[in-house]
């Protein structure tokens, strides 16, 4: 089944389901991403700080898949924020990926304490202008950080990639994003294996009703909420499972029950203070 695409505010589009490589061992990345591409994933989410851009690039090159059929995201690390430093970091990422352009380049965290995300964003605007990133966006930006970019710069971020799963849904950010045409990407969509999301009755009951797994139900919840999602797994059978989510739909009632799981339970760092 074809993966739906979401239209971004800059006129491009992104496959709604992809594959993330946070914590994928650099030494194994080429093999793991090769499996993911073979399973059918065409959207890959990496970052400079993951240390595995080279492996992603090697898998992409070896796949022989035409570049225009792939969607590759990478991210600017906190220490590289700034003007010249951001440009240099971007060029390093492109080189490690072995690509002439990325589809999406993100500021990984706002790091309000160093107060360089506005300057960094102006550099991303220039990178987009050059064609070497087709789209630009942010990650872990909360409402005040998004508001500052809207107030002080020209380009509205295409996406905000934030921690988002049924136990932490960040309604303030998602509502603000929707009002301003910013698409939301969910990181840690399955609770990172740290939160027992897949064992909650709201999830397991929907799974048995549809003859699907808990992970498939949670991925479906993200898709039906309109979020962009890229679960990670090193294991090919789970890659297959996580991609096999287009032959069923959760009912409104099942969606509402899963949405009601909200616990304001954050798994990662607090974006207001991290970095």
Catalytic residues: 50
Least Å distance, CB 268 to ligand NAD, is: 6
Query: Considering only residues 20-49, where is the footprint of ligand NAD by CB under 6 A?
Result: 20-22, 45
The verdict on 274 binding ligand NAD (CB under 6 A) reads no
Least Å distance, CB 44 to ligand NAD, is: 8
The verdict on 166 binding ligand NAD (CB under 6 A) reads no
| Paired tokens of 259 | 């949405």
Cβ neighbours of residue 185 under 8 Å, at least 6 residues apart?
45, 139, 159, 160, 161, 162, 227, 228, 229, 230
CA distance 148 to 122: 12
Scanning the chain, the segments in alpha helix (DSSP H) are 26-39, 53-63, 84-97, 117-129, 143-152, 171-179, 201-210, 214-225, 236-243, 252-259
Nearer to ligand NAD, 124 or 154 (CB): 124
Q: Is 108 annotated as a binding residue?
A: yes
CA distance 53 to 71: 14
The verdict on 192 binding ligand NAD (CB under 6 A) reads yes
The verdict on 271 binding ligand NAD (CB under 6 A) reads no
The verdict on 238 binding ligand NAD (CB under 6 A) reads yes
Give binding residues for substrate as ranges: 108
Which residues make up the interface to ligand NAD (CB under 6 A)?
20-22, 45, 108, 139-140, 161, 187-193, 198, 215, 230-233, 238, 241-242, 268
């Amino acid at each position: 089944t074809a993966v739906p695409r979401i239209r971004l505010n800059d006129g491009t589009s992104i496959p709604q389901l992809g594959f993330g490589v946070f914590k994928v061992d650099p030494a194994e990345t080429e093999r793991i991403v090769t499996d993911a591409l073979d399973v059918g994933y065409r959207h890959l989410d990496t970052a400079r700080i993951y240390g595995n851009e080279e492996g992603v690039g090697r898998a992409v090159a070896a796949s022989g898949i035409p570049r225009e059929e792939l969607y590759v995201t990478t991210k600017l690390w906190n220490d590289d924020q700034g003007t010249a430093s951001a440009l240099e970091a971007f060029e390093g990422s492109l080189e490690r990926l072995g690509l002439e352009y990325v589809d999406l380049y993100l500021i990984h965290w706002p790091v309000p304490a160093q107060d360089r995300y506005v300057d960094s964003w102006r550099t991303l605007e220039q990178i987009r202008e050059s064609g070497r990133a087709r789209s630009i966006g942010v990650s872990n930006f909360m409402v005040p950080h998004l508001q500052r970019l809207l107030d002080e710069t020209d380009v509205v971020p295409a996406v905000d990639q934030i921690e988002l799963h049924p136990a932490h849904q960040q309604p303030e950010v998602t509502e603000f994003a929707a009002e301003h045409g910013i698409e939301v990407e969910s990181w840690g969509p399955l609770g990172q294996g740290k939160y027992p999301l897949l064992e909650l009755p709201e999830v397991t009951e929907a799974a048995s009703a549809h003859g699907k797994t808990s992970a498939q139900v949670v991925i479906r919840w993200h898709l039906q909420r309109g979020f962009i999602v890229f679960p990670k797994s090193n294991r090919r059978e789970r890659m297959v499972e996580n991609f096999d989510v287009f032959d069923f739909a959760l009912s409104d009632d099942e969606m509402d029950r899963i949405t009601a799981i909200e616990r304001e339970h954050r798994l990662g760092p607090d974006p207001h203070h991290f970095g």
